Amino acid sequence: MTDMDAVADVRPESAKEDRRGGRPAAGTDPVKRRQILEGAGRVFSTTGFDASSMSDVAREARVSKATLYVYFQDKEHLFTAICAERRDRNIAEILSLLDTEKPFKDVVSLFACELLTIMSQPFVVAANRIVIGVAERMPEVGREFFERGAHRVTTAFSEYLQHHVEKGDLQISDTYFAATQFLELIQASIIRPRLYGVVTEAPAREEIERNVGSALAMFLAAYGKRETS
C-alpha distances out from residue 129 to 90, 106, 151, 183, 194, Å = 18, 31, 17, 18, 10
Instruction: Let me know: does 159 contact 182? Beta carbons within 8 Å.
Output: no
List pLDDT tens digits, range 184-224: 999 999 999 999 999 999 999 999 999 999 999 999 999 99
Radius of gyration over alpha carbons of the chain, in Å? 21
* pLDDT tens digits, 52-104: 899 999 999 999 999 999 999 888 888 888 888 888 888 999 999 999 999 99
Global confidence as pTM: 0.77
pLDDT band, residue 12 (cuts 50/70/90): very low
Report the pLDDT value the prediction gives residue 123, as an integer from 0 to 100: 83
DSSP conformation class of 181: H
Mean predicted lDDT score pLDDT of the chain: 86
3-class DSSP string for 62-75 = CCCHHHHHHHCCCH
